[in-house]
Amino acid sequence: MKKILIAMLAIMPACGPKSGSQLAEAWNSDNDPTVISGNELVTKFRKLPLSGEVKMKGWSDSYWPTYTGGISVRWLTSDYGYDLIPETTKNARLEVLSPAEKYDVLLGRFDFPTVASERARTEIMKTVPGSPDYKEGFEIPGWYGLCHGWAPASQNFAEPQKPVEVALTNDNTVVFYPSDIKALLIYYQQYNGNRSTKTVFAGERCNEEFKKLEERLAAGEITRAEVDAAKETPECRDVNPGMLHLTLANEIGKKRLGLVMDRTRDSEVWNQPINSYQSRVVEEVAAATPGAAEGTVKELLVETAVYYTVETEPSTDPIGAVEQGALYKYWLELNKNGDVIGGRWVSEARPDFLYRETAPVFQGYFKRLEQIYKTSID
């Protein structure tokens, strides 16, 4: 299927004119491939695998969008403006509460600190008529969410496979479905556990909104040259394709370790767990084109299909990895020893940045989550 997909994915339109030498940009502190791969980085093209797959694919789930209150949403009923249950609740099977509510109730915290924290972070109550915080016309962008927690969490933790039901006081029980547990893992990965995580990050974040640039161009407010210049700033032009190719081949091809990419080049951030890649050499040129990295003696035109896990709706059952693919096209620049020393893009679409984040240590308020998680995968 992947061989079929690499042929079927549309080639992205070409970028604007080439700039000067890519050497400094390719290996600056933001795009240096050793940032992720370390000093054991293999750079000789002939030693780089043309395909690879991670040991454990990232699982799909909701990115817990901000516009529905993050993990404070009662996802089984799509309710986020609810009243909190009282501590006097008796003889109840609590299964439709939000992941945040369930965890607070599990710990006997009927002041609901996790719910309060999520409502404050997302500002969701500003969208709920009748709420003291309601603000007419207040809008939350649809792409805001917890994908920056979901992507690494899905690579660090095995997918919960079954519900976990826990007995509480007052003859109550609380049911944690797989997506409840994943939501809490995602939240803990990004926020409460991040002091115990380590991150390696390559590339710079682009803050330009390409759609708005095109709208301003259509309105005659800016020129095509200004649009192209905005897209070709270092932070919007990277990641460098040489770094991308080396990182995929070293980390996934050789080590089978997971990576996360922001698959959108501009200001929107969509973090996706990369599961596999497949490259092929389309053309070889035994010369350096103007603007190539210093020392280039050969250039390779490469197509690489990257397959990644995508977001889904939450579920009472395990979901697995729902995947999509993206096809990237670029030139790699090789020196006389066959080392990849730079590259330039052909496709306009490209990842904005790459990173890997370690799993957090279960501690503090979320220590109990470890037991729930382990029970769900046992």
pLDDT, tens only, 208-218? 788 887 888 88
Give pLDDT tens digits for 115-161: 999 999 999 999 999 999 999 999 999 999 999 999 999 999 999 99
DSSP secondary structure letters along 44-55:
BGGGS-SEEE-S
DSSP secondary structure letters along 125-183:
GGGSTTSTT--TT----TT-SSHHHHHHHHHHSPPP-S-EEEE-STT-EEEE-HHHHHH
Write down the pLDDT at residue 11. Answer: 29
Alpha helices in the chain (DSSP H): 2-8, 23-26, 34-37, 99-106, 113-122, 147-156, 178-187, 210-218, 224-231, 234-237, 241-247, 367-377
Write down the pLDDT at residue 268. Answer: 86
How far is the C-alpha of 246 from the C-alpha of 255, rounded, in Å?
A: 12
Query: Residue 233: which pLDDT band, with cuts at 50, 70 and 90?
Result: confident
How far is the C-alpha of 317 from the C-alpha of 368, rounded, in Å?
A: 22
Write down the pLDDT at residue 27. Answer: 58
Residue 35 phi, psi (nearest 5)? -60, -40
How far is the C-alpha of 108 from the C-alpha of 342, rounded, in Å?
A: 56
Mean pLDDT within 322-338: 98
What share of the chain in percent tops pLDDT 90? 79
Helix 99-106, helix 113-122: angle, nearest 10: 150
Query: Residue 15: which pLDDT band, with cuts at 50, 70 and 90?
Result: very low
12-16, 150-154, 221-225, 313-317: range with lowest mean pLDDT: 12-16
CA atoms within a 13 Å half-sphere pointing along the CA-CB vector of 323? 19
pTM: 0.89
* Cα–Cα nearest to 140, from 131, 149, 128: 128
Asked if the model's pLDDT at residue 7 lies above 70, the reply is no
How far is the C-alpha of 228 from the C-alpha of 348, rounded, in Å?
A: 11
Contact yes or no for 203/349 (Cβ under 8 A): no
How far is the C-alpha of 358 from the C-alpha of 91, rounded, in Å?
A: 40
- Contacts (Cβ under 8 Å, ≥6 apart) of 310: 60, 272, 322, 323, 324
Q: Which amino acid is at 256?
A: R
How far is the C-alpha of 115 from the C-alpha of 102, rounded, in Å?
A: 10
How far is the C-alpha of 160 from the C-alpha of 164, rounded, in Å?
A: 10
The end-to-end CA distance of the chain, in Å, is 32
Q: What separation in angstroms does the CA of 184 have from each of 120, 199, 327, 333, 365?
A: 17, 20, 33, 44, 12
| DSSP 8-state assignment for residue 323 | E
Mean pLDDT within 21-47: 80
Give pLDDT tens digits for 172-187: 999 999 999 999 999 9
Write down the pLDDT at residue 22. Answer: 38
Write down the pLDDT at residue 232. Answer: 80
Mean pLDDT within 359-375: 97
* Cα–Cα nearest to 342, from 111, 4, 48, 28: 28
